[in-house]
Copies of this chain bind each other. A is one copy, B any other.
């Protein structure tokens, strides 16, 4: 089958072996997939991954152990845990020590005609959510996961003034990549006053249309303004230092970017200001699908291009171009 493979570089392969469905897994036919910044990072060596790239998808179930899935249109959690450990049984398996991760770690991804994923990872897509919305379920879930960090803040009780028992009303989002824009949308929908900083006026317009104030990096200058919640989604090493300097004392910094290599961090700032730094990765796909069905977020204006899988190499290069937002891939005949 046709597949975009990362090996020594990223190549379209026409005779990639068909996936083998294991017990408990579903065989899925891709309808639409999305290129994520993590795919670009992987191509640069992150995780040392080798295989078919891609983890954002909407697909049809071709085969499964449970016949109720067959023919269903689905999205899915990218973390394929063992299903048996404490983390899988109680916490969704995102931290299962034996997990593979779709198109990222030990498991072929979705920039292909077909792929496999455990059935327990699947979430059905309702008729009212079209493919171009559903394909955003995975990054939207990651964006909504920032609210989990905020939820902690509202519920904590402290012994001696460590943190405050109120949710932050103001938030700053750093980075106008696809994930950063989704995070800003989610926080605004959740009722927070959000400011977004980025580099690309065209991307920031997506938020301007929604009434979310945006600033170009250079407009921020050396403001003394500090925010109780800062989300770092710039995908750069410099974004972290920037973020750390913009968090208020006792504030929270949610780190979404995964960047290859080491970052220079002024950790004494973290200690002196008693900042809470939360690493945040994947969210709950069911929650994301509920948000899409309820129309709380409509991410379609993030789409900057749609290519057939045959043009995947070109599409991948497009996605890596500065200022370009979401690029989608569709196997021919998928719609």
> Which of B92, B164, B273, B276 is A160 in contact with, Cβ under 8 Å?
B92
Asked whether, in the complex, the Cβ of B287 is within 8 Å of the Cβ of A280, the reply is: no
Asked whether, in the complex, the Cβ of B271 is within 8 Å of the Cβ of A263, the reply is: no
> Which of B157, B256, B277 is A155 in contact with, Cβ under 8 Å?
B157
A268 proximal to B (CB < 8 A): yes
Binds B, one of A106-114, A145-153, A302-310: A145-153
A247 to chain B, nearest CB (A): 10
> Which of B94, B265, B270, B287 is A267 in contact with, Cβ under 8 Å?
B265
Mark A238-271 against chain B: 1 for CB-CB distance below 8 A, else 0: 0010000000011000011111111111111111
> Which of B163, B255, B276 is A271 in contact with, Cβ under 8 Å?
B255
A255: B residues at CB distance < 8 A? 267, 270-271
A46 proximal to B (CB < 8 A): yes
A299 to chain B, nearest CB (A): 19
A152: B residues at CB distance < 8 A? 152, 156, 158, 162-163
A72 proximal to B (CB < 8 A): no
Asked whether, in the complex, the Cβ of B267 is within 8 Å of the Cβ of A271, the reply is: no
Chain A contributes a number of interface residues (CB within 8 A of B) equal to: 57
Q: How far is the CA of A257 from the CA of B272 in the complex (A)?
A: 10
A145: B residues at CB distance < 8 A? 160, 162
A110 to chain B, nearest CB (A): 20
A104 to chain B, nearest CB (A): 10
Q: Give the one of A263, A268, A279, A280 with max B CB within 10 A.
A: A279
Asked whether, in the complex, the Cβ of A94 is within 8 Å of the Cβ of B161, the reply is: yes
A284 proximal to B (CB < 8 A): yes
Asked whether, in the complex, the Cβ of B279 is within 8 Å of the Cβ of A258, the reply is: no
Asked whether, in the complex, the Cβ of B287 is within 8 Å of the Cβ of A258, the reply is: no
A161: B residues at CB distance < 8 A? 90-92, 94, 284
A159: B residues at CB distance < 8 A? 147-148, 151, 284, 287
A183 to chain B, nearest CB (A): 14
A332 proximal to B (CB < 8 A): no
A37 to chain B, nearest CB (A): 13
Residue of B nearest to A244 (CB): B279
Asked whether, in the complex, the Cβ of B95 is within 8 Å of the Cβ of A273, the reply is: yes
**Which residues between 309 and 333 of chain A lie within 8 Å of chain B, taking CB atoms?**
none
Asked whether, in the complex, the Cβ of B283 is within 8 Å of the Cβ of A279, the reply is: no
A203 proximal to B (CB < 8 A): no
A266: B residues at CB distance < 8 A? 261-263
Q: How far is the CA of A159 from the CA of B270 in the complex (A)?
A: 26
Q: How far is the CA of A105 from the CA of B258 in the complex (A)?
A: 35
A155: B residues at CB distance < 8 A? 155-157
Instruction: Give 29 pairs: A residue, B residue, CB < 8 Å, sorted on A.
Output: A91-B161, A92-B160, A92-B161, A95-B250, A95-B273, A95-B274, A97-B249, A145-B160, A148-B162, A149-B162, A151-B158, A155-B156, A156-B156, A159-B284, A159-B287, A161-B284, A162-B280, A255-B271, A257-B267, A257-B271, A258-B268, A262-B265, A262-B267, A263-B266, A264-B265, A270-B277, A271-B279, A272-B279, A277-B279
